[in-house]
Amino acid sequence: MLHQFIKSLIAVGIILAVASCAPREIAVKPIRLEKKKEKELIAALDSIHAIRPSTLFTKVKSAYSDTSKSVTFKTTIRLVKDSFADVIISKMNLPVAAALITTDSISIANKLQKCVLQKDLSYFKEIFQVDFSYQNLEELLLGLPLGFDTTQKYFQINDPFQYIISSVKKKELRRELRNRNERMRNNRRNDDNNFVFVYQLAADLKSIKRMSLNSPSDTTSIEIDYLSRDSIDNYLLPNEVNIVIKTPRNRIVIDLDYGSTTVNEPQEILFTIPEEYETCGFKEN
């Protein structure tokens, strides 16, 4: 009996010893990138921004949360370049809302309350505290450098492990981030209405890996991480995206998981407003 117990004890010891020798996760050291000149990185940004499909169709698993609520839903998007984005939002495979965003307006049909809301694009500011144009929406959905402007001056932020381009120099960027944090603590505003853009390019310079936008005027910041991409008809389109919007009064997190994506196929507007729909009685901010 004692002999059998000792054999069992040895067997357990062997198992523990093997387990202790199992491979452990090793922290991956960042890879030092090949040096690139500032003009090379800016040219890469310009190329990424210029290459876009004429149309996009995709179904996106979406998750939204802020300081007061959290919801998940599915979004079907039909987009035509420089024209419109037709959006259907569904829960449990039932459409609950639809939207049509054009270059100058947004219309939202609430299918549960049977009402419609029609606004100009300043409505984005009411919802997210961020000024958004239709082109910005296209850039976001297609994974392009948001707000990139060939007439704007850009600067390389030297980092041996990342390719980073900013709309301000490194010293100004550090000062702005420091001042923004101080304004947030003291609940103060700044009269500067310009966003500070920071773009992190992928190592192959073929896509955007991460973007951040900071507004000195109201301490709003947007962080967009393109966690993965799919190559579809030679376009590197988003697959998984994480967006964090911070304002003095809110923190909004949006996760997007793209699927069933196609490009350059004819798309049409499906958005309609039934005759019986009234104007939605949403409270204005």
- With CA atoms as reference, report the closest residue to 109 among 284, 279, 268: 279
For residues 221-248, average pLDDT: 95
Q: Taking a C-beta distance cutoff of 8 angstroms, is the pair 178, 186 a contact? A: no
Instruction: List, in order of start, the domains of the chain with CATH numbers.
Output: 38-279 (2.50.20.10)
- 91 forms beta bridges with 94
Above 70 in pLDDT, residue 48? yes
Q: How confident is the model at residue 111, as a pLDDT?
A: 95
Reply yes or no on whether the pLDDT at 92 is more than 50: yes
- DSSP letter (8 states) at residue 159: -
DSSP 207: S
Give the tens place of pLDDT for each residue, 114-161: 999 999 988 877 776 667 889 999 999 999 999 999 999 999 999 999
**Which residues, 6+ apart, have CB-to-CB distance to 262 below 8 Å?**
56, 57, 58, 232
Mean pLDDT for all residues in the chain = 84
Q: How does pLDDT run across 10-34, given as a tens digit for each residue? A: 343 333 333 334 455 556 678 899 9
pLDDT at 219: 77
pLDDT above 80: residue 56: yes
For the cut 70, the answer to whether the pLDDT of residue 49 exceeds it is yes
**Bridge-partner residues for 92, per DSSP?**
none
Q: What is the pLDDT of residue 169?
A: 84
Q: What is the pLDDT of residue 189?
A: 44
- For the chain, what is the radius of gyration of the CA atoms? 24
Give residue 128's pLDDT: 66
Is the pLDDT higher at 143 or at 3? 143
Residue with token string 């698993």? 61
Model pLDDT, residue 26: 58
pLDDT at 193 over 70: no
Q: Using 50, 70 and 90 to split pLDDT, how confident is the model at 172?
A: confident
Pairwise pLDDT comparison (87 vs 215), residue with the higher score: 87
Question: Is 4's pLDDT higher than 80?
Answer: no
